[in-house]
Amino acid sequence: MYTVVINGKPKGPYELNQLAELNIVPGTFVKKPGMDDYKEAHEFPELRELLGFTFQQTAPQYFASFDQRLLASVIDYFFITLFYISLILICFIFVTGQTERITLFLSFLPAIPLAKFFYGSIAEASSRQATLGKRLLNIRVTDQLGNRISLGVSFIRNLSKILSVIPLFFGYLYSFLNRKQQCWHDIAANTLVIKDRLI
């Protein structure tokens, strides 16, 4: 069963064979059970076969906002920090002196941003294209056409965050001035952070 957006309003549900009677074009928004969001008709293999469409690679039109990206990063740091504290508490079983415990805790603090760098790079190049924080907010990292990025590009993107941080975080704030809401590290790696289409 399919729901079709006709004249700006969802109509249906329709069975597959009924769709041939509607004035559906490749860009018509369609949704079927189990989908969180609408997709364009040409993105469905069965509709391409039924209606004679061809798949059209289109550039993303919906970009993650600064506050979504910031919240996703906060979530990622929260879980990484929680994991770090858990490891330190386990180490405290074997380290009893107060001074030694404080030294141990502080000595490995730089491991948190380092872990975030490697985790972010690997997760954003994975099939999910997102870290846990981004997944919770339904945003993901893509190339300019919405495709999955390679691990090399992901490492470049995350390493380039230094460029966004150094000038008083202006590289992040630049997203307010950019039509695709790209930060400087996105521009350096030629990537986007996109969100699901909203109807």
pLDDT tier, 49 (very low <50, low <70, confident <90, very high otherwise): confident
Q: 114-169, pLDDT tens digit by residue?
A: 999 999 999 999 999 999 999 999 999 999 888 999 999 999 999 999 999 998 89
Predicted local distance difference test score (pLDDT) of residue 54: 81
- Mean pLDDT for 4-15 is 89
Among 183, 185, 184, 189, CA closest to 68: 183
Say whether pTM exceeds 0.75: no
Predicted local distance difference test score (pLDDT) of residue 50: 86
199 pLDDT more than 50? no
Q: Residues 22, 14: contact at Cβ < 8 Å? A: yes
Question: Distance of alpha carbon 122 from its chain centroid, rounded?
Answer: 13
- Which residues make Cβ contacts (< 8 Å) with residue 34, sequence separation at least 6? none
Whole-number mean pLDDT of the chain? 91
- Mean pLDDT for 82-105 is 91
29 pLDDT more than 80? yes
Is 57 or 101 the better-scoring residue by pLDDT? 101
CA dihedral 119, 128, 133, 161 (to 10 degrees): 50
Q: Is 130 helix (H, G, I), strand (E, B) or coil?
A: coil
Predicted local distance difference test score (pLDDT) of residue 198: 56
Q: Is 10 helix (H, G, I), strand (E, B) or coil?
A: strand
Q: Residues 124, 178: contact at Cβ < 8 Å? A: no
In percent, the amount of the chain with pLDDT more than 70 equals 97
Predicted local distance difference test score (pLDDT) of residue 197: 65
Q: Residues 154, 116: contact at Cβ < 8 Å? A: no
Phi first, then psi: give them for residue 61, nearest 5 degrees: -120, -5
Strands (E), 2-158: 2-6, 9-14, 29-31, 39-40, 139-142
Phi first, then psi: give them for residue 167, nearest 5 degrees: -80, 60
Q: Is the dihedral of CA 104, 106, 67, 129 positive or negative?
A: negative
